[in-house]
Amino acid sequence: METRSVRFRSVPHWIVFLLAACGSSPAPSPVLPDVPPPPGRCADYRDGHRNVYYGDLHVHTRMSLDAYFFSGVNGPREAHRFARGEAVGLPAIGSDDPFTAGREARIDRPLDFVAITDHAEFIGGPAAVCDPTAGTQQLCDTLLGQRARADVVGIAAGETSTLNQLIVSIGDVLPSDYLLWGEIKRINDQEYEPCEYTSLHGYEYTPNELSQMVHRNVVFRGAADSVPATVFSAGALTAALLPENGNDDWALFDHLQSACIDRPDCDVLTIAHNSNASDGRYFLGREANAGDFSVVGDLSGVPLGRKIPQTDIYYPMTEADARLRNNVEKSFEMMQHKGQSECAAGLEGRYLAADEELDPACGFEVWKSVCSGRPEDPPSCAEYCSGDPAVDPNFCGHKTYNTNGVDLCVTQGPDGSSRPAHGGGDTDNCSHPLDYYRNAMAEGMAIARTLGVNPYKLNVVGASDTHNGTPGAVAERGFKGHFGVIDDDPDEQLGLWLCDGGNEDPADPQRCSNRRFEEFSRAFNPGGITGVWAAENTRTEIWDAIERGESFATSGPRLRVRSVASWSPLPSDVCEQLAAGRETIGGGVAMGADLPPPPDTDAKPHFAVWAVQDPEGHALQAIDLVKGYLDATGAPRVRTVDAVAATRRPVERPSQDCTVADDGHPDSLCARWTDEEFDAAHDAYWYARVREVPSCRWSAWMCKVEHPVDCGLLDPANGLFPKDSGLRGYEGCCAPIAGEPGSFHGKASFHTIEERAWTSPIWYEADD
């Protein structure tokens, strides 16, 4: 878990591993020949080698409807310039004006590539229609902006009002997307500088039926003239009137097949993102009564597959459906502003192997938590949450029920039909084990046993999901938020008292109906980035690396990590070759690739994983390995091995002033590992997770260093800091605030994290 995962489980009997370049060993520094690149290649091109590049594949600017009204300052050009190191503006703290810059933001180090992914729904419409020179900005702000800013919790949770649905639907039938999408593409092409900076064309497809986020980023390979003339929107005219037609996965896949893939000059992929908020919708499980599918655990649901348009009738996924999704959807956003989607405390489900222990690292940046301190919490929550905010991870304090604090889904289905265990209405949020990557990837292998193709075979990227037009702004210290005027003030970021009545006074409990402490935004984090191993920094090379899976996600730091697997023992200098970016190593396959058929039934796969810390970050703690596989019965299972390579010194939390205990811990780690219990008759995947030593979360930086908070100064009458204390607005540093008027009190939190990176898996598909 993010605050206490300094203990390691013993390595299970099913693993044999060797450690190489472990502990305090320095990173390998191979000597490379000084050979000039061939003509037409970038200066850092080396034949037979890969270089590492970092980027952000999920970026919103003022061309997105929500971002426009939250923080409508930066457009696509400003976003690209920010990624390259230039300063941009943000709305001023304390201002309700989202259109005027009052602060400056600058990234600590430039990025190598960025995809601008504004929402396809009414793309660019508000920025074009709400023109201050035409006198329409105030009208737009009155109709939409004020409403959006007043309901940020609902919007961030995926809810969409009927009015917004109608406006988006009407906007989608206007020709604006031709012109404004064309303008975005034009800017992207102008900002592209081969070998120095890559701008990728993209947009976000954003269906939100009954708060189920089933969003995808669509990323194209080529220049503007090879990209479709329009975006594909989820905001059809029927969406507001016939909401049962929402969340239509295959509508997008079918469109991209005809609009791009079938064309000789167009290449596209989609990135599944933020599945942790899909309420069991993103990766549907096998259904008990559909003949070819079997239920997972005690869950029930509807047939996995497509819906007949304008009806509630579903038919099972066909092989053609699975093959289409497999062909288009290539990657998965493991980390973003709304948390990680690898695994979550309390959502182990039936996927853990029978003798497997809980994975403490699943307590890292959980955005929607089933562990909220209620009697209905799964029993495993007690392994993560002690009830003490001074040591518990941030998610243990999620008290905004039905948004951050949710129930376990006991039914699973599309178009809002997922239902929680203890909720009472159609809008109740819930979380499901298949909302998380490693379970969903194992489930996909089980589906493939029936359909012959895995619809959920995805590699890994990371991103910010910034709505400020600030790609890569992922540092914990000095985090400025990602939603403009929505999360710029300390009380908006950390938590504040609210009343139901707009004219009521939260400072006076006697004149505040349904008074509650709202801490929704404290669940957000700065987000992550993508690392790729590519021959050079060009559109084709960066896109190809993402498509083939030579990519990794990080929670923000610029760690480097690579993995390789082979049926025969890897060379003794495999760590040096991984560090050098060698394209092929000992006949093995790189992360993202498939192992070929084994040479014989007794063959075991050999792996090597190398990682090095961010040169401006913190030391490494451990490399973990995660394996998903089908067991002897064909059921999907997951195992985790902590610390196959690890520091040799005790790991400590940072001090109260956020000084990190780096001393004596390695800047690099490398593990060689053999899966001795591999069964060639069953599908499997393996990926690596690299963890840094603990450091301060952004909320700890705010509460302990930037504004040291004394929770003893809380006024017991109203749970607020006195105005003359200089701490008003920092009450969230003491949440949860307990008691009644006259006895309000809180205890200081100290949220620490283990920043990390995840590799794309190496896959194995057994012969039928």
Q: What is the mean pLDDT of residues 474-493?
A: 91
Distances (CA, A) of 6 to 360, 642, 665: 9, 10, 13
Whether residues 738 and 678 fall in one domain:
no
Whether residues 605 and 688 fall in one domain:
yes
pLDDT, tens only, 36-53: 888 999 999 999 999 999
Provide, rounded to the nearest whole percent, the portion of the chain with pLDDT above 90.
Answer: 64
- Answer yes or no: is 199 within a domain: no
Phi, psi of 181 (to 5 degrees): -60, -40
Q: How confident is the model at residue 519 (pLDDT cuts 50, 70, 90)?
A: confident
How far apart CA 359 and CA 690 sit, in angstroms, is 14
pLDDT of 680 strictly over 70? yes
Bigger pLDDT: 166 vs 180: 180
Whether residues 501 and 624 fall in one domain:
no
CA 680 remoteness from chain centre: 32
Phi, psi of 55 (to 5 degrees): -160, 180
Whether residues 598 and 654 fall in one domain:
yes
Distances (CA, A) of 302 to 288, 296, 321, 554, 634: 9, 13, 17, 35, 21
Whether residues 640 and 598 fall in one domain:
yes
How far apart CA 469 and CA 395 sit, in angstroms, is 27
pLDDT, tens only, 352-409: 988 888 999 999 999 999 997 777 788 899 999 998 999 999 999 887 777 788 888 8
Burial class of residue 611, CB neighbours in 10 A (0-12, 13-18, 19+): buried
Bigger pLDDT: 452 vs 486: 452
Whether residues 684 and 716 fall in one domain:
no
Whether residues 518 and 565 fall in one domain:
no
Q: What is the mean pLDDT of residues 503-518?
A: 92
Whether residues 693 and 714 fall in one domain:
no
Bigger pLDDT: 483 vs 172: 483
Q: What is the mean pLDDT of residues 131-158?
A: 65
Residues in the chain: 768
Bigger pLDDT: 413 vs 764: 764
pLDDT of 563 strictly over 70? yes
Whether residues 600 and 642 fall in one domain:
yes
pLDDT of 2 strictly over 60? no
Which range among 92-106, 138-152, 437-451 shows the weakest confidence by mean pLDDT? Answer: 138-152
DSSP-derived secondary structure for 541-573: HHHHHHHHT-EEEESSS--EEEEEEESSPPPTT
Provide, rounded to the nearest whole percent, the portion of the chain with pLDDT above 70.
Answer: 82
- Answer yes or no: is 32 within a domain: yes
Domain of 721 in residue numbering reads as: 488-523+710-747
Whether residues 593 and 638 fall in one domain:
yes
Distances (CA, A) of 175 to 178, 181, 182, 233, 403: 6, 10, 11, 13, 36
Which range among 162-176, 220-234, 691-705 shows the weakest confidence by mean pLDDT? Answer: 162-176
Residue with tokens 């590539």: 113
Q: How confident is the model at residue 84 (pLDDT cuts 50, 70, 90)?
A: very high
- The answer for 478, left when phi > 0, alpha when psi is -120 to 50, beta otherwise, is left
Mean confidence (pLDDT) of the chain: 86
pLDDT of 506 strictly over 50? yes
Count of the separate structural domains present in the chain: 2
Distances (CA, A) of 360 to 344, 368, 393, 635: 9, 17, 11, 23
How far apart CA 519 and CA 717 sit, in angstroms, is 20
Q: How confident is the model at residue 637 (pLDDT cuts 50, 70, 90)?
A: very high
- Answer yes or no: is 677 within a domain: yes
pLDDT of 639 strictly over 90? yes
- Answer yes or no: is 203 within a domain: no
Whether residues 738 and 666 fall in one domain:
no
How far apart CA 419 and CA 428 sit, in angstroms, is 7
- Answer yes or no: is 396 within a domain: no
pLDDT, tens only, 236-246: 655 555 544 45
For residue 549, what are the β-bridge partners? Answer: none
pLDDT, tens only, 434-476: 999 999 999 999 999 988 999 999 999 999 999 999 999 999 9
C-beta atoms surrounding 366 within 10 Å = 30
**What 3 state SS string does 97-135 have?**
CCCCEEEEECCCCCCCEEEECCECCCCCHHHHHCCHHHC
pLDDT of 288 strictly over 60? no
Q: Which of 138-142, 195-199, 513-517 is most confident?
A: 195-199
Structure tokens at 634: 């064909």
Residue 22's pLDDT is 39
Residue 686's pLDDT is 98
- Answer yes or no: is 374 within a domain: no
- Answer yes or no: is 420 within a domain: no
- Answer yes or no: is 595 within a domain: yes
> What type of residue sits at position 387?
G
Q: Which of 51-55, 157-161, 497-501 is most confident?
A: 51-55
What is the pTM (predicted TM-score) of this model?
A: 0.91
Q: What is the mean pLDDT of residues 723-735?
A: 94
Q: How confident is the model at residue 96 (pLDDT cuts 50, 70, 90)?
A: confident
Whether residues 610 and 731 fall in one domain:
no
